[in-house]
A and B are shown apart, each in its own frame.
Chain A
Amino acid sequence: MAFKKSAVPFAGTPEQEKKLRAVIEEHKSDPGALMPILQKAQDIYGYLPIEVQTMIADAMEIPLEKVYGVVTFYAQFSINPKGKYKISVCLGTACYVKGSGDIYNKLQEKLGIGGGEITSDGKFSLDACRCIGACGLAPVLTVNEDVYGRLTVDDVDKILEKYN
């Protein structure tokens, strides 16, 4: 069985570790601290590789499996790094009935990756997401913080070009 480690090597800095240790220290005694700690850890590192999860497990004196089980349960936690540009396509009902599924497929085809994956140059990662609440603009996708709404399949190329 293959050890599910990311293909991209871990490049955590001492500053990041210091920040994480401070976060753990701050929350450690709170009841149910694991979720907030993981959320902040992901803010610090961008994802939750084994090195980060091990640090958290050891500091909280809980099994690594407990941490990993929680991480893999929630869609927002990622054990893989995300692209420089994170594309999310809303597949909520409102967007779906207005054709966001086609836009999602088109992006997979254009980028040559599946959902949840990252392009080999690390530039784009693609995810489907649940309703982001911009139903008035359906169908919607986001690239990092930018929101694109009222889309058609033909808009995909234009949007990708902006980031090339």
Chain B
Amino acid sequence: MVNIKINGVDYSVPDGSTILEAARIAGIKIPTLCYLKDINAIGACRICVVEVKGARTLVAACVYPVNEGIEIFTNTPKVIESRKTTLELIVSNHKKECLSCRRSGNCELQALCKEYGIDENKFAGANPEVEIDDSAAHMIRDNSKCILCRRCVAACGVTQGIGVIGANERGFATQIASPFDMTLAETACVSCGQCIIACPTGALTEKDDTDKLLEAIADPTKTVVVQPAPAVRASLGEAFGYPIGTNVEGKMYAALRRLGFDKVFDTNFSADLTIMEEAHEFLDRVQNGGVLPMITSCSPGWVRYCENYFPEFIPNLSTCKSPQQMFGAVVKTYYAEKIGKKPEDVISVSVMPCTAKKFEKIRKDQSAAGVFDVDITITTRELARLIEKAGIMFCDLPDEKPDSPLGTYTGAGAIFGATGGVMEAALRTAVWKLSGENNDAPIDFKEVRGVEGIKEATYTVGDKTVKVAVASGLANAKALLKKVKAGEANYDFIEIMACPGGCVNGGGQIIQPASVRNFTDIRAERAKVIYSIDANCALRRSHENPDIQTLYKEYFGEPNSHKAHEVLHTSYKAAELYR
């Protein structure tokens, strides 16, 4: 601990704290823009400046370490005036269309400008010309709103180890972009959307498909069904003022129903279906000498990454479609038949914590009935906007239940939304099966839970040993795969999710500002929702799901049957894009 003074008051704070962290302990929030814990401590935006006694200039609180006896002043007129000027300079080079901006009300720059009472036209001057990049399936980049904090660059390069965007040129001409001004679609971008949730302003936004959705709902000839993903219920409430980590599942179903969906189902159901296929695929590979380690394929960001960066692992990818796509495929085949409609007249809608799902749904070999399995994919954020636009008073809604038959789920389906969840769900069924369909086989596999980037575990069932690994965040995935490739590690089964912490922290989730992200582990908080749903489920193994059992009885026969392969499995192809 070191003794410090902030604004004349003594505190004792941990050694190695930054001024930002020390001030937080003292109950003072110092504003930040470029700082993002662990990945972007560059002191570039200068909004967090404070005075330090004896220092020649103001210093950046986000990176300046405290030392014994340091005297810090966080709100002198000089500090306040400096921050104000910094904001005025930033907005002099920022497209100010706050009335219509997607991020209005949730924009870190806007919030600070209001706090500091800036004069937004004080430094009017030249702005570099920028072009909007809407080439990618999942997002739009408008650099006229970019403040060059580089949080997106860190998310792409550091968290995800990809780096298809970065700072180009220099000085006033600096732009965050891809090499040679190529569009995102021309690069090996995996559509994970981590850059979007890192962006403090409206420079990076998801593509909005809500208008398309409203049109479909309004079309009387269509039956519109919706599947919300496991992680959506763990974040949606944040848009309506609930604390991070609030389960709003019941209100989510109620809101979807009030939006006019004909049926409100749940991706948790198809997560159970995925386990049926994937666990059996795994057992088949183990028993019949298939390619191991088998690697999960639920995360389209990861799948795209594999195709772009590690094509040699394509044979290791499970051929199972993701839960979103399995759900869509079942809707367009089994369900359409069941209600006597043509596949194109049943509109399959998904609500996802993920932007890559917008890309996944238009992939090849994702059309079981000859039309796309999923017609419209919206993110958690788009759902929140729709609910607001529709005037639905979310907080006052009753807790409702999903519809049958595609809404029933077990605890195994529920935990798909967190890192380790798919692995645990698969293990529940696989270990049950390997132990001779023993209902006393273990259900909790806690070794694979938690937010660590790479987790490993070994399970022994009878004479069989299963070595598993779980990675989330693609930089971690890269590290893990390199070890596997080099023969330094040996696994039977690997789960990889593109986003750190898994889908709960997906690129389509409600955006939490850096001031929250820097001090709260939102991954862990949201994961708690998912594990508490699981703990409260009566049925916790996917094969116990009665509607799944009916589905196999009525339609697919056995897991991995010919029919199941036609509808529920897919294929992959190495991609040649600029990495």
Contact = CB atoms under 8 A, between A and B. Distances in A.
Contacts of B183: 1, 3
A5 B180 CA distance: 7
Contact of A65 (B164, B169, B170): B164
Contacts of A1: 131, 133, 135, 181-183
A69 B166 contact: yes
Given A3-B186, A72-B168, A73-B169, A63 B157 contact: yes
A58 B180 CA distance: 16
Interface in A53-105: 53-54, 57-58, 62-69, 72-73, 79
A68 B179 CA distance: 6
Given A3-B186, A57-B579, A65 B163 contact: yes
B178 A65 contact: yes
Q: Which of A3, A63, A68 has the most CB of B within 10 A?
A: A63
B180 A79 contact: yes
Interface string B198-214: 00000000000000000
A127 to B, nearest CB: 16
Nearest to B157: A63
A64 B182 CA distance: 11
A113 interface: no
Contacts of B578: 54, 64
A112 B187 CA distance: 36
B165 interface: yes
Contacts of A63: 157, 162-164, 166, 579
A158 interface: no
A72 B171 CA distance: 11
A66 B181 contact: no
A90 B271 CA distance: 67
A122 B162 CA distance: 37
Nearest to A5: B180
A53 B579 CA distance: 11
Contacts, number: 58
B474 to A, nearest CB: 13
B400 to A, nearest CB: 45
Interface in B132-172: 133, 135, 157, 162-170
A7 interface: no
Interface in A10-38: none
Specify the main secondary structure of chain A where it touches its partner.
Answer: helix
Contacts of A64: 179, 578-579
Contacts of A4: 180-182
Contacts of B135: 1
Contacts of B133: 1
A50 interface: yes
Contact of B179 (A2, A65, A73): A65
B385 to A, nearest CB: 27
Contacts of B157: 63, 66
Contacts of A79: 180
B434 to A, nearest CB: 39
Contacts of B162: 63
Contacts of A53: 179
A54 B576 CA distance: 12
Interface of B: 131, 133, 135, 157, 162-170, 178-183, 186-187, 578-579
21 contacts: A1-B133, A1-B135, A1-B181, A1-B182, A2-B181, A3-B180, A3-B183, A3-B186, A4-B180, A4-B181, A53-B179, A63-B164, A65-B168, A65-B178, A68-B168, A69-B166, A69-B168, A72-B170, A73-B169, A73-B170, A79-B180
Interface of A: 1-5, 50, 53-54, 57-58, 62-69, 72-73, 79
Closest 3 CB pairs of A and B: A68-B179, A63-B163, A4-B181
